[in-house]
A and B are shown apart, each in its own frame.
Chain A
Amino acid sequence: DVKVTQSSRYLVKRTGEKVFLECVQDMDHENMFWYRQDPGLGLRLIYFSYDVKMKEKGDIPEGYSVSREKKERFSLILESASTNQTSMYLCASRAGGARYEQYFGPGTRLTVT
């Protein structure tokens, strides 16, 4: 079974802190994604990566950065957390090419106070 794991289920941080969210997948997938999910807004793509050290901005990259040093690991970084970044963060991975399903992790509920 494909497994996508995220480092924390719940996280509480203060405004201005640097926050790291880690995601690991065990299926050798080329593509990895970070989304945030907010009530009524669905899943919005923050960043994705289609290879090691490669990254592409999604729909809402402002205030975030990412790192992919190894194929199995994709990190989301909030350089200076703000209260409007309180959200559910979902990581996903997917095999390369077209028409493959995307597998999601369990999510990290981040609260910024």
Chain B
Amino acid sequence: GESVGLHLPTLSVQEGDNSIINCAYSNSASDYFIWYKQESGKGPQFIIDIRSNMDKRQGQRVTVLLNKTVKHLSLQIAATQPGDSAVYFCAEETNSNSGYALNFGKGTSLLVTP
């Protein structure tokens, strides 16, 4: 049966270090991916996106890498800061019968320690 109350995977990093958060996606036909950040008590916020015709995209202190061969996505955060502590979700876009829906991963909790 379905498990309930699963704990989120947690990544603990020291302030100033680089963080890498990984995500495996399921649909080989997905062609658009997004990373979201969710702070406690708030809704998810967009961080960065990438289309399937790219394998890397950079933003401010963040880089997303896409490996379509193994269906893997990663988010790299440079010089991690305490304000980066949050839950991070990846999402893939799939073309459903009624349009384009996002399929979300379960999230990774990032904890930045001083």
Contacts and interface: CB of A to CB of B under 8 A. Distances in A.
Interface of A: 4, 31, 39-43, 45, 48, 50, 56, 58, 90, 92, 94, 96-107
A31 B91 CA distance: 16
Given A48-B101, A56-B98, A42 B51 contact: no
A90 B34 CA distance: 17
A104 B34 contact: no
A58 B94 CA distance: 13
Interface of B: 3-8, 31-32, 34, 36, 41-46, 49, 51, 89, 91, 93, 95-96, 98-102, 104-107
B54 to A, nearest CB: 12
Given A39-B5, A40-B8, A42-B105, A97 B100 contact: yes
B93 A41 contact: no
Contacts of B43: 4, 90, 92, 104-107
Nearest to A99: B32
Given A40-B6, A50-B98, A98-B100, A104 B45 contact: yes
Q: Is the interface of A mostly helix, strand, loop or mixed?
A: loop
Nearest to B104: A43
B103 to A, nearest CB: 9
Contacts of A100: 100
6 contacts: A31-B100, A43-B44, A92-B43, A99-B93, A104-B36, A107-B43
A40 B4 contact: yes
